[in-house]
Amino acid sequence: MPIRYLVIAAAVSMAGITYLDRVCVSILAPAIMKDLRLSPLQMGYVFSAFTLAYACFEIPTAWWADRTGSRRVLTRIVTWWSGFTMLTAAALNYPALLAIRFLFGAGEAGAWPCAARVFSRWIPLEERGRAQGIFFAGAHLAGGLTPALVVWIAAFLPWRLVFVVFGFFGLAWAAFWHRWFRDEPREHQSVSSSELHLIEAMRGLPAQAHSGSWRKIWATRGLVPLCLQYFANSYALYFFITWLPTYLAKSRGLASGQLAFFSGLPLMLSAAADVTGGWTTDSLSRRFGLRLGRCGVGAGAYLVAAGIMLAGTLATNSLLAGTLIAIAGALSMFTLAPSWATAIGLGGANAALLSATMNTAGQVGGVLSPIVLAWVVDRYGNWNLPLHIVSALYLVAFVCWLRIQPEPAAATSRDSVGDLAIQKPVT
């Protein structure tokens, strides 16, 4: 098997562990709130403390990865966040929980831009959308399975020990990654000469690539709409991984078994959407160019997602509402492969830094999402209003994709410089 496929598999397993730890806290939220006597608004701040730290440290960590490589930086990231996942069990009050979740977010920041940098070095351009789709599928599949897994484990263990168990997965992954992975394919002893030639000739990096250049990042065409559409994506995502179980229980009256299923359904469906989105964006880009392959996929998915999300809030049948909301969420995740493939292609040697800029905009949405929901529900007593906001943001993302420029400014043809430079290497 080509080593680059094993690299993708390792990255996918890391993505799965991130969601295992993120989603766990939302399922255990009722037990945590009862034990620590937290109000819904306080729990909203706990959710957002992670995301705020993630946003603050995302770009500095990605800059560090572009300078020193993903092997060392990802090892530190996963070790850190796994440690603070376990330390969540030691929280005895609200301030302690808030601090631990903030430090958890600070440690996890930069994980996905580091993975983007890995793909920029290891994955040929024509395979990159599919690689990103598989990567996100692993994350969302883990997130989708987590509610049922947590409910099962929590039947035997108190909520504190569940965090301890989950923390060990990350520590094992970090030890493997540091021992096995190398930042450049030519540094890995198992890469054959034919695979090395394929990767280096087709990955679209200049022979002398200067990393960590802020000037190039801010000069990138389409950066602002790329970031805005990702804000909308993450705003919705953090609803699914924080307040969705509570919404389904309080607004839709779902019982325990149904609650576990529909809490995980958006991420389960997202796993399929990630893979098909990656395949679709690569296929259309090869045949019709990046404008349709990246922007057409992103715009179309968000437009349909906005309508289905609105329909979900209006549905009177609880099971139908849960299904429609999950489908809308999955459609928004259909855009992840084109988003990250566009960011990697535009970033080039600065793939981690540009990806982190986009992802930081997303994390701002993630910070706001749990707090805005708690405030809206407290102010108006309506659990559907936050989902109307999500639907409106999907429409904003649709408009943003119409304005994104997926080709690097220097590109003059489909096979010169760009995200699908598959005819000849860039030098």
Terminal Cα-to-Cα distance of the chain (whole angstroms): 28
The CA–CA distances, whole Å, from 52 to 28, 106, 379, 387 equal: 20, 8, 23, 22
pLDDT digits (tens, 9 = 90+) for 105-157: 998 888 988 998 899 889 988 888 888 889 888 887 887 777 778 878 888 88
The more confidently predicted of residues 393 and 255 is 393
Q: How does pLDDT run across 156-176, given as a tens digit for each residue?
A: 889 999 899 889 999 999 999
Range of 38-42, 238-242, 260-264, 303-307 with top mean pLDDT: 303-307
Q: Please give the average per-residue pLDDT across 227-242, as a whole number.
A: 92
CATH of 3-202+216-403, one of 1.10.150.120, 1.10.760.10, 2.60.120.10, 1.20.1250.20: 1.20.1250.20
Alpha helices in 210-255 (DSSP H): 214-218, 223-240, 244-250
- Residue 169 tokens read as 């997965």
pLDDT beyond 90 at 75: yes
The number of angstroms, rounded, from the C-alpha of 146 to the middle of its chain's C-alpha atoms is 16
Mean per-residue pLDDT, 10-22 = 85
Determine the average pLDDT of the residues in 318-332: 94
Model confidence at 241: pLDDT above 60: yes
Structure confidence at residue 212 (pLDDT): 54
What's the chain's average pLDDT? 86
- % of the chain surpassing 90 pLDDT: 42
Residue 168 backbone phi and psi in degrees, to 5: -70, -30
CA atoms of 331 and 270, how far apart (whole Å): 7
Mean of pLDDT values over 376-394? 92
Angle at 417 between CA 222 and CA 182, to 5 degrees: 95
Please tell me which residue, 122 or 215, carries the higher pLDDT value: 122
Helices (H), 381-410: 385-403
Answer with the residue of higher pLDDT: 406 or 314. Answer: 314
Return the sign of the alpha-carbon dihedral for residues 152, 157, 161, 167.
Answer: negative
Mean pLDDT of the region 192-197:
92
pLDDT of the residue at 420: 44
Is the torsion defined by CA of 25, 27, 28, 29 positive or negative?
positive
pLDDT range class, residue 410, cuts 50, 70, 90:
low
Q: Which of 59-68, 340-349, 393-402 has the highest mean pLDDT?
A: 393-402
- Select from 410, 103, 140 the least CA-distant residue to 271: 140
Helix 40-68 / helix 94-108 crossing angle, nearest 10 deg: 30
Region 367-390 average pLDDT = 89
pLDDT, residue 413, reads 40
The pLDDT value recorded for residue 206 is 63
- CA-based nearest residue to 301, from 325, 319, 277: 277
Asked if pLDDT for residue 239 goes beyond 60, the answer is yes
Residue environment code for 129-156, b if the CB has 16+ CB neighbours within 10 A, otherwise e: bbbbbbbbbbbbbbbbbbbbbbbebbee
The whole-model pTM stands at 0.75
Q: How confident is the model over 84-88, as a mean pLDDT?
A: 92
Q: How far apart are CA 211 and CA 278, in angstroms?
A: 26
Q: Is the pLDDT of residue 329 over 50?
A: yes
Q: What is the model's pLDDT at position 416?
A: 36
Residues 306, 320: Cα–Cα separation, whole Å: 16
The per-residue pLDDT for range 28-44, each reduced to its tens digit, is: 888 899 999 998 788 87
For the purposes of burial, counting CB atoms within 10 Å of the CB of 290, is it exposed (0-12), middle (13-18) or buried (19 or more)? buried
Over 70: is that where the pLDDT of 222 sits? yes
Residue 412 has pLDDT above 50, yes or no: no
Band (422; pLDDT cuts 50, 70, 90): very low
Give the model's confidence band at 80: pLDDT under 50 very low, under 70 low, under 90 confident, else very high.
very high
Please tell me the predicted confidence (pLDDT) of residue 211.
55
Query: Would you say residue 10 has pLDDT above 60?
Result: yes
Q: Which of 189, 185, 140 is nearest to 7 (CA)?
A: 185
- Whose CA is closest to 80, among 173, 161, 184, 159? 173
CA distance 146 to 176: 23
Lowest mean pLDDT among 155-159, 203-207, 219-223, 236-240: 203-207
